[in-house]
Amino acid sequence: MPTYNRADLAFERGEGAWLWTTDGRRMLDFGSGIATTSIGHAHPHLVKTVAEQAARVMHVSNLYRVPQAEKLAARLVESSFADSVFFCNSGAEANEGMMKAVRKYHAENGHPERFRFVCFEGAFHGRTLATLAATGNAKYLEGFGPPVEGFDHVPFGNMNAVRDAIGPNTAAIMIEPIQGEGGVRPADLRFLRELRAVCDEYGILLALDEVQTGMGRSGKLWAHQWAGIEPDVMSSAKGIGGGFPLGAILAKEKVAQYLKPGTHGTTYGGNPLACSAGNAVLDIILAPGFLDQVDRVARYLWQGMGALAARHPEVASGVRGAGLLIGLQLTPAVTNSAFQAAAVDEGLLTVAAGQNVLRVAPSLIITEAEVDAALAMLDRAAAKLTPVKAAAQ
């Protein structure tokens, strides 16, 4: 179906941060398939694990125990706030399940009227009907009938608006610690702490969408750890499978206890193949020193992006984000799609985001030398775009 505006590029193989097109060009991948190939392309450990699992057994359904899923869940619990995990296949599906978990929690506690979510302008939570309503973007909702009921949007970062939006029907606050699609906008760490406090004050839940920010992307395993807070429930996807489709809901026992047999489910979710991929990714990300290196290289990239913006004030006005999720704010003179295309011409893949931001989200195994190479390509792309603007005047 004609759902995508695809670039005329096709890839036949990848290695680490690099991809080769079918016509033989080598490209540096600073998009990671939208922040998803967390340990790079064709990582030998991931490839071997998935290949061996595929040869043994891929799928059995959740009618049976799945040792790979039990192992992955135990490791996620060990390295997070959560007491238990539900596996699914995508970010939207994780968010749907997270919303169901929140509503069930209040219903079981005698408050079925608490079903509404306070969400944020500029959010992105997925493309299914409920996650679209949580996203709240009028453009995405148009033509798909009445939005699913129960989502109230307030300006990102505005605590007064959050307080005003909380009422007797509020079940939870749902937020991305860093808005990804919406333009790589990080929430203030103090704002996240205040959200935690206001949830405790009103007896509502804090539901974090860490689909894009989790699994090490911020330089810590979970982005909320920078704020020193814990959510009650959280979604994860994208980087968790390193490119293999996998999503997860992580929850405290007080929430998870109510998702009894029959309340929620999936056929594929958490199958042996997907969870073997998840375990292989965790083997790499949780290895001693790995996240320290992500943090180091992320700071290096941040500095370089700042210098780039300063060198090209007519093209870029600033840098925002955290870890290896960084946005280059472009000036009105240049669209992010034009910049993205110019970067492709230089051999660099990036991703556009909202508010005319160019998003870079390389795999977490990126080296400083590769950052230098990417910055040089961005620099040439910016230089090329500058005279375009001059000529247009």
Ligand X SMILES: *Cc1c(COP(=O)(O)O)cnc(C)c1O
In the complex, the smallest distance separating the C-beta of residue 34 from ligand X, rounded to whole angstroms, is 6
Distance of alpha carbon 38 from alpha carbon 243, whole angstroms: 8
Q: What is the identity of the amino acid at 181?
A: E
In the complex, the smallest distance separating the C-beta of residue 157 from ligand X, rounded to whole angstroms, is 16
Tell which positions 300-329 bind ligand X, by CB under 6 A. Answer: none
Cα separations in angstroms, 387 against 315, 318, 376, 390, 393: 10, 20, 18, 5, 10
Interface with ligand X includes 176 (CB under 6 A)?
yes
Cα separations in angstroms, 372 against 295, 307, 393: 16, 12, 32
Query: Is 37 assigned to a binding site?
Result: no
For ligand X, the closer of residues 162 and 351 by Cβ is: 351
Q: With contacts defined by CB under 6 A, name the span among 54-62, 88-96, 331-339, 374-382 that binds ligand X.
A: 88-96
Query: Is 49 assigned to a binding site?
Result: no
Tell which positions 121-140 bind ligand X, by CB under 6 A. Answer: 124-126
For the chain, state the CA radius of gyration: 21
Beta bridge partners of 251: 84, 233
Q: With contacts defined by CB under 6 A, name the span among 120-128, 158-166, 253-261, 263-271 that binds ligand X.
A: 120-128
Query: Is 92 assigned to a binding site?
Result: yes
Distance of alpha carbon 256 from alpha carbon 238, whole angstroms: 22
Query: Is 15 assigned to a binding site?
Result: no
In the complex, the smallest distance separating the C-beta of residue 183 from ligand X, rounded to whole angstroms, is 12
Q: Which residues contact 303 (CB under 8 A, 6 or more apart)?
A: none
For ligand X, the closer of residues 232 and 370 by Cβ is: 232
Distance of alpha carbon 282 from alpha carbon 280, whole angstroms: 5
Distance of alpha carbon 122 from alpha carbon 132, whole angstroms: 12
Cα separations in angstroms, 168 against 53, 111, 322, 352: 49, 9, 35, 38
Distance of alpha carbon 204 from alpha carbon 385, whole angstroms: 48
Query: Is 388 assigned to a binding site?
Result: no
The count of chain residues that interact with ligand X, using the rule CB under 6 A, is 15
Query: Is 367 assigned to a binding site?
Result: no
Query: Is 211 assigned to a binding site?
Result: yes
Tell which positions 323-362 bind ligand X, by CB under 6 A. Answer: none
For ligand X, the closer of residues 177 and 304 by Cβ is: 177
For ligand X, the closer of residues 14 and 122 by Cβ is: 122
In the complex, the smallest distance separating the C-beta of residue 276 from ligand X, rounded to whole angstroms, is 19
Q: Which residues contact 73 (CB under 8 A, 6 or more apart)?
A: 84, 85, 87
Interface with ligand X includes 370 (CB under 6 A)?
no
Tell which positions 203-262 bind ligand X, by CB under 6 A. Answer: 209, 211-212, 237-238
Token pair belonging to 136:
């709240």
Q: Which residues bind ligand X (CB under 6 A)?
A: 90-92, 95, 124-126, 176, 180-181, 209, 211-212, 237-238
Numbered residues of the known binding site for pyridoxal 5'-phosphate = 91-92, 124, 209-212, 267
Numbered residues of the known binding site for N(2)-acetyl-L-ornithine = 127, 266
